[in-house]
């Protein structure tokens, strides 16, 4: 049961990633792309956790934690860049 | 053990003048003299042992990998040279005490002089070829400092540079020669080398080796055609000339030839080359000594001439010739040092060294006149002086040698010619200075120097006379020892003044008669030579140097196009060719191990990774979008690391990714937002082809390697990680333990890079554009509230995670590097959210010490293992238990990791925060049109203090 759910979820997450990539490529506006990248980071968290479940290993957890904690900072930096140009002022 | 001290004492003596210079010149001179005097006494104390036939050796292994031992010997040859170096050195110290002007930095002079003395003693006593070469180089360097002592004078600087260039180049040749020699003999130990003369002579590389060693010797001893530096080195203060250019430095080449005589002489090549070079040098030097009008110039060229004489004798190489060479080394050192010092006294008291302005000084300086006359008589080879004895021996040997085969009669003829010139210039030196009436007035009224300044000259002249009168009593013992050291067996000889009327005596007589006549008709000779245009060696030398420099620049310009694309292109092309060659050589791309299982996620991940890479390149003209695409690549690389069980790498990649983004965006702000279309379609195609092919080759290589079972070193680390390093996390144990030294190097580089960026950005203030690339003005909201509050909440969390990652790093994924990056990113977020001013108020310390302290902690941890007698960076660990916490492990590696952590935090923040500061003060307050902003930029940057 779990493995079936796992496969379905994995497939969905990978599809989501593909869509993120599509949006990132197409745009059309810069905020679209930034959001796409950010969502990509969020989906990666899911992917890593799912991988951990699938391969039955705990070592993946920290990577997920790190993306969750730091991943948004790149987004913040890009946003700040778009808004103000200078990200550290 | 005393041997080591004899060599070390002068070296320690370098410190004495530096420490005592404050106490006045008298104290300093005395203190400086103590150590070389002690070394001289110690040398003399060893003489009885030497006479008993003891082999005095001292040897400590220094760097066995380089065949370098700290090995000294004291044999007859070393004894002779030690006596000259230390004895005359002491006299020079006394002389310099009076010679240097009151306001000149005498401490520095003495320090250089001691350094030179130490290196000469080192050459004379080295029992190892490499060690000998080290001291040889040290003489070149210290003589450079001494010659250029009056560094405010252009001729001193140029003369010093020329001497260094010539002797330094010779030193390089000598190194090559000695390496060859050691290789041929199979040992770099002097005793072994000297004993294997037969092997060396039979070796096919012998001519090459001989050429290189002789280059070294000839450049040092100013042999033709490398003699030109010596007259220009006369820009040195006279004590230096008296020391370096009479007794010591120029004798180093002679010494080398004598020292290596048993090993490398004994071939026809040696005899012909060395004696021919010697005789040419002798005549050339003697001729120009006669032509020069500068007192020191005359002495310089006469030195060249006498060095040539000694070289001829070494080239002849018969036992008696060697004896004559050694005897003349001794004699020349005494009379030439005396003459140089007299010249210095004359210069000192009259203010000039030009013969034109000198004359009739015998009235004003009767004692100096007497001393100089006696020394010059020794130089001319007048009977009853020491110079006469060795010159007679030289004539005898020139008659006896068959070196030049059928034209062997040439040698005595040329030797007589040299004798004639020698008599003429010696006579001229004395007569023109002391007896002939002066044509012009000297700048100062001449008078006798202080008595103690004359004392060294007196001692040396007395030596000249006493050796000349009682040669058998004075010199036999020393020469017996020295000649035995060079020839290898005791030599039976008798030094005597009178050998009866024989051919050498007739040659001497001839030399005197013709020499006096030559001086008498000297004016005619000068007029004759004035028809020829003179060549200024220095001008030629400088011109050659300039042209070499110019050619090098051209070569560099041809190789360096300053085009990054071209460099990368060549690099890639090389990689392509090498990789291609490797690939062609394997028969089957897929190895025995076969493919690994593949699943849908892997395929899609790979596709997205590739897409990200291609998209980064495709969108490169839109820099921000390209950066976003690059970020996709980074993310997927991290995911790949995670998928293939490399959590440490994944963590590192993720945190590095964030820092990179911030860094690039900070930089991007000052760059044009869009890259103009620069490349032609042809170039695009070329670049795509190159990059594409290289990509395929690298991919194939990776595939080939990964489908094979290769022997890897990783099993060693996996097996030894726990027992050897005390940690389960192999990656971290490798970083902090197995390859801790590498890590130390890396964090040092990181800290230095951080400091360099800090210095480069220091005071740099760039003006920022007032709108983005599409002309939109910036949002007025500087610190969005959402970001501000999130950053505050995140900080403690991030620090906690960072501490967690740091502490568990030794056994589970993590470690100082990742923890440091997490801390740095969390702090940088604070900077982004609240601004530099706010953050600096709260983080009230500079980051550069943090990075430096990090490196220091890591280094000290490494050094700590020395305290326990272990090699650098040996780690130790143990298990401890505390109530509530339980058993835990403590390892010194943790301390090392702390250093890594601090270095990373310090360096990262130093770079990012300082880059962020670049614009801070200059954001335009009101929005204006572009033109006004530019004007404002100009004024504000002008106001910025530099």
Residue B733 shares a structural domain with residue B873 = yes
Are A44 and B912 in contact (CB < 8 Å)?
Answer: no
Highest mean pLDDT: which range of B466-475, B549-558, B725-734: B549-558
Residue B663 shares a structural domain with residue B765 = no
Question: Of A25, A66, A73, which has the smallest distance from its Cβ to B829's Cβ?
Answer: A73
Q: Nearest-CA residue of chain B relative to A81?
A: B665
Task: Output the pLDDT for position B446.
Answer: 80
Residue B843 shares a structural domain with residue B734 = yes
Question: Of B651, B658, B915, which has the smallest distance from its Cβ to A62's Cβ?
Answer: B651
Question: Among B230-244, B435-449, B768-782, B833-847, where is mean pLDDT lowest?
Answer: B768-782
Distance from CA of A67 to the nearest CA of B (A): 7
H runs (alpha helix) in A1-89: 2-26, 30-55, 61-84
Are A86 and B923 in contact (CB < 8 Å)?
Answer: yes
Q: Nearest-CA residue of chain A relative to B917?
A: A89
Residue B658 shares a structural domain with residue B807 = no
Residue B643 shares a structural domain with residue B755 = no
- Residues above pLDDT 70, as percent of chain B: 96
**B231: Cβ contacts below 8 Å, ≥ 6 apart:** B288, B292, B297, B300, B301, B304, B537
**Testing the interface with B: which of A62, A64, A68, A83 to mutate, by most B Cβ within 10 A?**
A62
Residue B904 shares a structural domain with residue B838 = yes
Are A77 and B665 in contact (CB < 8 Å)?
Answer: yes
**Testing the interface with A: which of B832, B913, B924 to mutate, by most A Cβ within 10 A?**
B832
Are A14 and B604 in contact (CB < 8 Å)?
Answer: yes
Question: Of A21, A63, A86, which has the smallest distance from its Cβ to B608's Cβ?
Answer: A21
Are B836 and A37 in contact (CB < 8 Å)?
Answer: no
**B638: Cβ contacts below 8 Å, ≥ 6 apart:** A63, B649, B650, B653, B654, B657
Chain A residues lying within 8 Å of B657, measured CB to CB: 74
Chain B residues lying within 8 Å of A21, measured CB to CB: 608, 611-612, 632
Question: Of B611, B831, B912, which has the smallest distance from its Cβ to A21's Cβ?
Answer: B611
Indicate whether B946 pLDDT > 70. Answer: no
In this prediction the ipTM stands at 0.96
Q: Comparing C-alpha atoms, which of B431, B425, B394 is closest to residue B515?
A: B425
Distance from CA of B680 to the nearest CA of A (A): 25
Question: Of A34, A57, A63, which has the smallest distance from its Cβ to B651's Cβ?
Answer: A63
Model confidence pLDDT, tens digit, residues B819-838: 999 999 999 898 888 888 88
Are B628 and A70 in contact (CB < 8 Å)?
Answer: no
Q: Comparing C-alpha atoms, which of B940, B603, B133 is closest to residue A18?
A: B603
Looking at the DSSP bridge assignments, the partners of residue B887 are B881
Distance from CA of B836 to the nearest CA of A (A): 6
Fold type of domain A1-84: Helix Hairpins (1.10.287)
Task: Output the pLDDT for position B920.
Answer: 57
Confidence of residue B939 (pLDDT cuts 50, 70, 90): very low
Are A76 and B832 in contact (CB < 8 Å)?
Answer: yes
Model confidence pLDDT, tens digit, residues B127-165: 999 999 999 999 999 999 999 898 888 888 888 988 999
Residue B810 shares a structural domain with residue B917 = yes
**Testing the interface with A: which of B606, B616, B638, B647 to mutate, by most A Cβ within 10 A?**
B647
Q: Nearest-CA residue of chain B relative to A32?
A: B625
Contact B615, A36 (CB under 8 A): no
Indicate whether B37 pLDDT > 90. Answer: yes
Q: Please identify which residue in the block is written with the tokens 């070796």.
A: B203
* Cis preceding linkage at B225, omega within 30: yes
Looking at the DSSP bridge assignments, the partners of residue B195 are none
Average pLDDT over residues B375-394: 89
What beta strand segments (E) does B821-930 contain? 877-882, 886-891
Model confidence pLDDT, tens digit, residues B177-191: 999 999 999 889 998
Are B916 and A88 in contact (CB < 8 Å)?
Answer: yes
CA–CA separation, B170 and B219 (whole Å)? 6
Looking at the DSSP bridge assignments, the partners of residue B73 are B57
Average pLDDT over residues B88-111: 88
Type and span of the H or E element at B930: helix B930-943
Considering chain B, what is the average pLDDT of its residues?
A: 85
- Coil, strand or helix at B235: helix
Distance from CA of A3 to the nearest CA of B (A): 15
Confidence of residue B935 (pLDDT cuts 50, 70, 90): very low
Question: Of A11, A47, A89, which has the smallest distance from its Cβ to B836's Cβ?
Answer: A89
Q: Please identify which residue in the block is written with the tokens 């004392």.
A: B455
Indicate whether B266 pLDDT > 90. Answer: no
Average pLDDT over residues B922-945: 44
Are B665 and A87 in contact (CB < 8 Å)?
Answer: yes
Task: Output the pLDDT for position B932.
Answer: 43
Question: How many structural domains does chain B have?
Answer: 2
Burial of residue B122, with CB atoms counted within 10 A of its CB: 0-12 exposed, 13-18 middle, 19 or more buried:
buried
Task: Output the pLDDT for position B861.
Answer: 85
Confidence of residue B615 (pLDDT cuts 50, 70, 90): very high
Low-confidence ranges of chain A (pLDDT < 50): none
- CA Rg value for chain B: 38
Are A17 and B805 in contact (CB < 8 Å)?
Answer: no
Are B631 and A74 in contact (CB < 8 Å)?
Answer: yes
Question: Of B654, B784, B829, which has the smallest distance from its Cβ to A63's Cβ?
Answer: B654
CA–CA separation, B313 and B326 (whole Å)? 9
Confidence of residue B500 (pLDDT cuts 50, 70, 90): confident
Are A74 and B915 in contact (CB < 8 Å)?
Answer: no
Task: Compute CA distances B236 → A42, B145, B151, B344, B826, whole Å.
Answer: 76, 10, 10, 11, 63
Helices and strands in chain B, H and E counts: 41, 4
Question: Of A59, A74, A83, which has the smallest distance from its Cβ to B661's Cβ?
Answer: A74
- CA Rg value for chain A: 15
Q: Nearest-CA residue of chain A relative to B778?
A: A84
Q: Is residue B809 part of a domain?
A: yes
Assigned token pair, B267: 């071939």
Question: Of A59, A65, A87, which has the smallest distance from its Cβ to B662's Cβ?
Answer: A87
- Evaluated on CA atoms B248, B251, B253, B259, the torsion sign reads negative
Task: Compute CA distances B463 → B88, B367, B374, B610, whole Å.
Answer: 12, 16, 11, 89
Task: Output the pLDDT for position B20.
Answer: 86
Are B654 and A69 in contact (CB < 8 Å)?
Answer: no
Chain B residues lying within 8 Å of A46, measured CB to CB: none
Are A70 and B654 in contact (CB < 8 Å)?
Answer: yes
Q: Is residue B870 part of a domain?
A: yes
Are B669 and A85 in contact (CB < 8 Å)?
Answer: yes
Looking at the DSSP bridge assignments, the partners of residue B886 are B882
Are A81 and B669 in contact (CB < 8 Å)?
Answer: yes
Average pLDDT over residues B291-298: 86
Q: Please identify which residue in the block is written with the tokens 């090995």.
A: B71
Are A88 and B669 in contact (CB < 8 Å)?
Answer: no
Distance from CA of B750 to the nearest CA of A (A): 22
**Testing the interface with A: which of B630, B634, B637, B661 to mutate, by most A Cβ within 10 A?**
B661
CA B249 to chain centre: 19
Confidence of residue B694 (pLDDT cuts 50, 70, 90): very high
Residue B733 shares a structural domain with residue B787 = yes
Task: Output the pLDDT for position B937.
Answer: 45
Q: Please identify which residue in the block is written with the tokens 């000068």.
A: B526
Task: Output the pLDDT for position B293.
Answer: 83
Comparing B794 with B767, which gets the higher pLDDT? B794
Question: Domain span at residue B661?
Answer: 601-675
Buried b (16+ CB within 10 A) or exposed e, A66-76: bbebbbbbbbb
Indicate whether B930 pLDDT > 60. Answer: no
CA–CA separation, B230 and B228 (whole Å)? 6
Distance from CA of B781 to the nearest CA of A (A): 8
Are A24 and B628 in contact (CB < 8 Å)?
Answer: yes
Residues in chain A whose Cβ is within 8 Å of chain B: 10-11, 14, 17-18, 21, 24-25, 27, 30, 33-34, 37, 40-41, 44, 47-48, 51, 57, 59-60, 62-63, 65-67, 69-71, 73-74, 76-78, 80-89
CA–CA separation, B915 and B525 (whole Å)? 76
Task: Output the pLDDT for position A71.
Answer: 86
- Coil, strand or helix at B56: strand
Residue B751 shares a structural domain with residue B829 = yes
- Evaluated on CA atoms B499, B500, B506, B512, the torsion sign reads positive
Average pLDDT over residues B527-543: 77
Distance from CA of B791 to the nearest CA of A (A): 9
User: Of B615, B650, B675, which residue sits at a domain end?
Assistant: B675
Distance from CA of A1 to the nearest CA of B (A): 20
- Coil, strand or helix at A89: coil
pTM reported for the whole predicted model: 0.68
Are B601 and A10 in contact (CB < 8 Å)?
Answer: yes
Chain A and chain B share a number of CB contacts under 8 A equal to 150
Task: Output the pLDDT for position B533.
Answer: 66
């Amino acid at each position: 049961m779990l493995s079936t759910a796992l496969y379905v979820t994995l497939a969905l997450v990978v599809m989501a990633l593909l869509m993120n990539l599509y949006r990132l490529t197409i745009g059309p506006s810069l905020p679209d792309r930034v959001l796409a990248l950010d969502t990509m980071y969020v989906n990666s968290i899911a992917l890593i956790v799912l991988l951990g479940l699938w391969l039955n290993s705990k070592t993946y957890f920290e990577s997920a934690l790190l993306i969750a904690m730091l991943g948004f900072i790149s987004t913040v930096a890009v946003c700040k860049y778009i808004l103000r140009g200078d990200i550290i002022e | 053990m005393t041997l080591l001290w004899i060599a070390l004492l002068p070296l320690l003596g370098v410190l004495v003048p530096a420490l005592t210079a404050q106490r006045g010149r008298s104290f300093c001179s005395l203190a400086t003299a103590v150590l070389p005097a002690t070394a001289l006494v110690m040398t003399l104390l060893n003489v009885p042992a030497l006479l008993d036939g003891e082999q005095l050796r001292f040897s400590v292994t220094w760097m066995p990998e380089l065949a370098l031992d700290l090995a000294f010997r004291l044999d007859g040859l070393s004894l002779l040279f030690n006596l000259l170096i230390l004895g005359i050195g002491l006299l020079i110290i006394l002389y310099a005490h009076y010679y240097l002007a009151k306001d000149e930095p005498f401490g520095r002079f003495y320090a250089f002089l001691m350094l030179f003395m130490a290196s000469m003693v080192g050459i004379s006593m080295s029992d190892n070829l490499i060690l000998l070469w080290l001291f040889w180089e040290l003489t070149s360097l210290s003589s450079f400092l001494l010659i250029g002592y009056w560094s405010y004078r252009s001729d001193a600087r140029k003369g010093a540079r020329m001497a260094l260039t010539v002797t330094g180049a010779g030193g390089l040749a000598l190194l090559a020669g000695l390496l060859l020699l050691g290789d041929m003999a199979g040992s770099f130990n002097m005793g072994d080398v000297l004993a294997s003369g037969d092997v060396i002579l039979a070796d096919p590389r012998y001519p090459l080796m001989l050429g290189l060693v002789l280059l070294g010797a000839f450049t040092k001893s100013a042999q033709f055609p490398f003699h030109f530096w010596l007259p220009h080195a006369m820009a040195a203060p006279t004590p230096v000339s008296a020391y370096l250019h009479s007794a010591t430095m120029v004798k180093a080449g002679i010494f080398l030839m004598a020292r290596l005589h048993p090993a490398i002489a004994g071939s026809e090549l040696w005899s012909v080359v060395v004696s021919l070079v010697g005789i040419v040098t002798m005549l050339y030097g003697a001729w120009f000594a006669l032509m020069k009008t500068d007192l020191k110039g005359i002495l310089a060229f006469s030195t060249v001439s006498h060095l040539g004489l000694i070289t001829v004798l070494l080239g002849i190489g018969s036992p008696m010739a060697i004896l004559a060479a050694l005897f003349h080394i001794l004699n020349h050192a005494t009379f030439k040092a005396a003459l140089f010092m007299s010249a210095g006294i004359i210069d000192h008291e009259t203010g000039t060294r030009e013969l034109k302005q000198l004359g009739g000084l015998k009235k004003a300086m009767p004692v100096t006149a007497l001393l100089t006359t006696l020394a010059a008589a020794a130089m001319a080879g007048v009977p009853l002086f020491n110079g006469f004895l060795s010159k007679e021996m030289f004539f005898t040997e020139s008659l006896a040698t068959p070196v030049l085969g059928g034209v062997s009669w040439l040698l005595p003829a040329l030797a007589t010619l040299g004798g004639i010139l020698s008599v003429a210039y010696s006579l001229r030196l004395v007569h023109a200075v002391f007896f002939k009436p002066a044509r012009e007035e000297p700048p100062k009224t001449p008078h006798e120097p202080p008595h103690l300044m004359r004392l060294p000259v007196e001692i040396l002249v007395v030596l000249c006379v006493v050796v000349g009168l009682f040669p058998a009593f004075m010199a036999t013992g020393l020469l017996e020892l020295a000649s035995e050291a060079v020839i290898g067996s005791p030599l039976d000889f008798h030094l005597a003044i009178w050998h009866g009327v024989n051919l050498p005596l007739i040659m001497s007589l001839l030399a005197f008669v013709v020499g006096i006549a030559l001086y008498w008709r000297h004016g005619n000779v000068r007029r004759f030579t004035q028809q020829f245009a003179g060549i200024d060696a220095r001008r030629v030398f400088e011109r050659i140097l300039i042209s070499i420099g110019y050619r090098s620049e051209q070569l560099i310009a041809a190789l360096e196009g300053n085009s990054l694309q071209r460099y990368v292109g060549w690099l890639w092309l090389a990689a392509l060719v090498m990789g291609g060659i490797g690939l062609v050589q394997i028969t089957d791309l897929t190895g025995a191990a076969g493919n690994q299982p593949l699943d849908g996620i892997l395929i899609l991940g790979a596709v997205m990774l590739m897409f990200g890479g291609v998209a980064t390149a495709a969108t490169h003209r839109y820099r921000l979008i390209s950066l976003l695409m690059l970020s996709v690549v980074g993310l997927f690389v991290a995911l790949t690391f995670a998928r293939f069980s490399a959590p440490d790498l994944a963590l590192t990649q993720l945190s590095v990714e964030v820092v990179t983004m911030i860094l690039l965006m900070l930089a991007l702000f000052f760059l044009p937002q869009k890259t103009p279309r620069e490349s032609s379609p042809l170039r695009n195609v070329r670049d795509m082809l190159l990059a594409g092919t290289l990509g395929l080759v690298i991919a194939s290589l990776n595939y080939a390697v990964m489908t094979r079972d290769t022997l890897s070193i990783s099993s060693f680390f996996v097996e030894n990680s726990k027992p050897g390093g005390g940690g389960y996390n192999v990656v971290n144990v490798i970083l902090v333990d197995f390859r801790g030294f590498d890590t130390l190097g890396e964090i040092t580089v990181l800290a230095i890079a951080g400091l360099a960026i800090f210095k480069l950005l220091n005071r740099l203030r760039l003006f920022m554009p007032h709108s983005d690339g599409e002309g939109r003005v910036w949002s007025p909201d500087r610190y969005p509230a959402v970001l501000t509050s999130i950053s505050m909440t995140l900080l403690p969390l991030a620090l906690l995670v960072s501490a967690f990652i740091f502490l568990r790093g030794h056994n589970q994924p993590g470690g100082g590097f990742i923890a440091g990056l997490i801390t740095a990113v969390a702090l940088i977020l604070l900077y982004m959210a609240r601004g530099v001013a706010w953050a600096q108020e709260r983080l009230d310390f500079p980051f550069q010490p943090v990075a430096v302290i990090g490196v220091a902690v890591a280094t000290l941890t490494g050094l700590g293992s020395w305290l326990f007698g272990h090699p650098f960076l040996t780690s130790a660990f143990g298990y401890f238990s505390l109530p509530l916490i339980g058993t835990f492990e403590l390892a010194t590696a943790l301390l090392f990791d702390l250093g890594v952590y601090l270095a990373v935090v310090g360096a990262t923040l130093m770079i990012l925060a300082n880059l962020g500061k670049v614009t801070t003060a200059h954001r335009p307050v009101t929005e204006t049109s572009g033109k006004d902003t530019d004007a404002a930029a100009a004024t504000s940057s002008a106001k910025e203090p530099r």
